[in-house]
Structure 1
Amino acid sequence: MERRTIKIAMNGVTGRMGYRQHLVRSLLALRQQGGLDLGDGTVLWPEPVLVGRREAALRDIAGRHGLEHVSTDLAAVLADPEVEVYFDAQVTGAREAALRRALAAGKHVYCEKPTALGFAAALELARLARAAGVKHGVVQDKLFLPGLLKLRRLVEDGFFGEILSVRGEFGYWVFEGDRQPPQRPSWNYRAQEGGGIVADMFPHWDYLLHELFGRVRTVQALTRTHIGRRWDEEGRPYEATAEDAAYGIFELEGGAVAQINSSWTVRVHRDELVEFQVDGTRGSAVAGLRTCRIQHRATTPRPVWDPDVPTAEPFRAQWREVPDDGPVDNGFKAQWELFLRHVVRDEPWRWDLLAGARGVQLADLGLRSCAQGRRLTVPEVTL
């Protein structure tokens, strides 16, 4: 087989998501399997170029994984004609400027979400990418996870009949930082640095709802900063200025209603950190990241409300597991493979910067809905 090397500038690999999911479990995993087989006698070999501000941290990562290319000079990396793709997993506030530089340099771009701090900027990035004539993509990893792949299969097979509602619960307790170290960086709780659970999670809800059930037509949200005082990575107290919980209602194209709670101040009483219950006229399903359980209309029990008698119904036992449909790879890696095929072979791709702008739009409208205390229409996003 012929091996074709593709150099990828990776900015943000010193962060947890950039390092674990994108570098180690995606591109390095592709190298460990011998590269990406394109099916035509060619194997694509990803060659990461680690970019960031902390040279020592970058060199430590490179040394641990046998990588050659490290740089703290983004301009020099973007000027290198051998670098074909720019990937960004930096903090949100730094992403837009870096993406603009990469697009101006004519690089294909792939990035985490949100793509920018506001909708206008996110839409402008999509316009710049189209004008540059480059390939561009946004990470929408949850679409590639086993539980949601099963849910998609149920939707496409018509299992639900008419879909009536979607209920989502996401979140966990993020420690304040005084007694136990927090699991999330402190910038997440500073609005002035692009923090907040709405900017973080509403782009996820947008692409999940859009792809599985239909475009979001209206949004009504209520946000709260439930914990106003937290401690940063150095143990210093600070005021949390961004919301740590959001309660959203989304009206979908076709009439279904979605209700999704997102919280970093909730203790988990679920099988997974995120679960979605979908109810339809012919059946229902509860899907997490890994598993999916169903109950068909023909097997639905007949509960009777009687608060004076202990519940005898084994409700959870009345649901059936949806079997795996073959092995499922890491969701981030699966999307990386599709994006690289798109870049090299021009294979189909729809998770572009315009889709990323749609997610930022929903986050913006969610925050505005809360501020104004009313439901808002979500206009269709076009270039």
Structure 2
Amino acid sequence: MEALGVVMNGVTGRMGYRQHLVRSILAINEEGGVALSGGRRVPLRPVLVGRDAAKLKGIAGRHSIADWTTDLDSALADDRAAIYFDAQTTNARVAAVTLAIDAGKHVYTEKPTAETVDEAVALARAARRAGVKNGVVQDKLFLPGLLKLARLIEGGFFGRILSVRGEFGYWVFEGDWQPAQRPSWNYRAEDGGGIVLDMFPHWTYVLESLFGQVEAVTARAVTHVGERVDEQGRAYKVTADDAAYAIFELAGGIVAQINSSWATRVHRDELVEFQVDGTHGSAVAGLRRCRVQHRGMTPMPVWNPDLPATEPFRDQWQEVPDNADFGNGFKVQWERFVRHVVEDAPFPHDFTAGARGVQIAELGLRSSSEGVRVEVPELAS
């Protein structure tokens, strides 16, 4: 089958290069392409786009990729390219995605889809008017730990779910005495940075896919580290939030608390963990692992501050088995989007779902700035 052209904008960045190009597109091609119904496979032809010609040339040479350019318009004019993918900085996304929609390309993009909910809704409307298929990366739904958690929910393990508690984050070095693990634009609001805009869209699709609709948000966004050093060794003032502490009220009375921080040191088994408590059992799910404690196996701790704790609390939980080969979450979602484009297979993670994440981020920032609980209105369609 003829290769399907994919214009990839932003592959010189860490996420665009490692997860989307190398571990998704190129890995798919190593397997002969995306498996379609009837046993056919469609290989993918990446067309690399970016602003830095030297970096693009280097990546193309390293992976024997024939097509790369710094001219987005020429890439979008290629009739052999059916899909446009965007992994740029957030503030550059709306303009580029709009160009791709106008060029008649199907669009798959990193989140958030925009910096404001109005822009995100406008993109969803534009894609719908143009009749192009559209999708947003929602990778955490495909993590082994969360897939196991979804299996537990589907099987009725929890009984009635009461609450969700999430912890995400790690210490991002300031960039002076050790290199920062995240790009400097993440810490500049004027460039679309900030942990709320970055992470609340993730929490939105995780919570709403697994537990229920977000009905209200109470959040506090802060900047803990006020000065950092960029990739060129220049000190700069941090203008975006680097930590957020939030309560999400979900349909059915479930309360979710999620802390997100790039200024915390990790004392947990994985960089993100969710504890779910229900009437019949509890679970702790991370990137890969998921452990459970059923009500029939729940011990009886007794509060006594006068004596040292002797119970091995972590040992009292059971590991949920894999029972499947989950694969790389980014790659799995790429395969689903390609099948959506080629044979109209279902793909629920569209621009409207992406706009929902931007809406919750925007309301979280409003809650923080005004110091109030904010109810979530119906999203304009």
Partner of 2:351: 353
What does residue 154 of structure 1 align with? 152
| CA displacement, residues 350-376 of structure 1 (integer Å, 9 cap, x when unaligned) | 000000000000100000000110100
The structural deviation recorded for 1:22 is 0.3
Secondary structure, aligned partner of 1:4: coil
What is the DSSP-based 3-state SS (H/G/I as helix, E as strand, rest coil) of the residue aligned with 2:2?
strand
For 1:27 and 1:341, locate their aligned partners in 2 and report how far apart those are by CA, in whole Å.
14
Question: Are the counterparts in 2 of residues 114 and 199 from structure 1 also a CA contact under 8 Å?
Answer: yes
Counterpart position of 1:244 = 242
Deviations 1:66-118 (A, max 9, x none): 11101111111111111100000000010000000000111000000000111
State the identity as a percent.
66
Alignment of 1:120 with 2:118, yes or no, is yes
Structure 2 equivalent of residue 205 of structure 1: 203
- Matched with 2:132 is 134
Q: Is the CA contact 1:118–1:364 (under 8 Å) kept in the aligned structure 2?
A: yes
| Amino acid paired to 1:6 | L
Task: Determine the structure 2 residue equivalent to 1:319.
Answer: 317
| Runs of 4+ off more than 3 Å | none
Q: Which residue of 2 aligns with 1:8?
A: 6
Look up the match of 1:90.
88
Corresponding residue of 1:298: 296
Work out which of the residue numbers 217, 223, 226 in structure 1 matches 2:224: 226
Equivalent in the alignment of 1:376 = 374
1:282 to 2:280 alignment: yes
Q: Deviations over 1:305-333 (max 9, x none)?
A: 00001111110000000000211110000
The residue type paired with residue 119 of structure 1 is V
SS in 2 for 1:40: helix
Is the CA contact (8 Å cut-off) linking 1:4 and 1:42 kept in structure 2?
Answer: no
CA distance in structure 2 between the partners assigned to 1:150 and 1:163 by the alignment = 16
Aligned residue type for 2:12: T
Deviation at 1:4, TM superposition (A): 3.0
For 1:285 and 1:293, locate their aligned partners in 2 and report how far apart those are by CA, in whole Å.
5
Using the alignment, how far apart are the partners of 1:348 and 1:208 within structure 2?
Answer: 19
Contact 1:218 1:375 in 2 (8 A): yes
User: In the TM superposition, what is the alpha-carbon distance from 1:380 to its structure 2 partner?
Assistant: 2.7
Contact (CA 8 Å) 1:354, 1:382: kept in 2 or not?
A: no
1:51 and 2:49 aligned: yes
**Quick check: 1:146–1:290 contact (8 Å CA) kept in 2?**
yes
> TM-score with structure 1 length normalisation?
0.99
Distance in 1 separating the partners of 2:21 and 2:40:
22
Alignment correspondent of 1:214: 212
**Could you list the per-position Cα deviations for residues 110-143 of structure 1 after superposition, in whole angstroms to 9, with x for gaps in the alignment?**
0000001111000100000000001000000000
Find the aligned partners of 1:229 and 1:67 in 2 and give their Cα distance. 39
Q: Within 1, Cα distance between the matches of 2:180 and 2:268?
A: 21
Within 1, Cα distance between the matches of 2:227 and 2:55?
30
Distance 1:39 1:123 in 2: 33
Q: 1:179 aligns with which of 172, 177, 180?
A: 177
**Structure 2 residue corresponding to 1:169, chosen from 167, 170, 184:** 167
| Secondary structure of 2:57's aligned partner | helix
Corresponding position of 2:143:
145
Deviation at 1:219, TM superposition (A): 0.2
Letter in 1 for 2:160: E
Partners of 2:345 and 2:235 in 1: CA distance: 49
Distance 2:61 2:134 in 1: 30
Q: Does 1:77 align with 2:107?
A: no
What secondary structure is seen at the aligned counterpart in 2 of 1:254? helix
Cα RMSD for the two superposed structures: 0.7
For 1:237 and 1:369, the matched residues in 2 are separated by: 30
Q: CA deviation at 1:56?
A: 1.5
Displacement of 1:39? 3.1
Q: CA deviation at 1:382?
A: 4.4
1:244 and 1:26 mapped to 2: Cα distance? 29
Contact 1:167 1:276 in 2 (8 A): yes
Structure 1: stretches of 5+ with no match in the other structure: none
Length-normalised TM-score, structure 2: 0.99
Residues 182-226 of structure 1 deviation map (CA, whole Å, 9 limit, x = unaligned)? 111111111111110000000000000000000100000001101
Distance 1:280 1:216 in 2: 18
How far apart, CA to CA, are the structure 2 residues paired with 1:204 and 1:37?
27
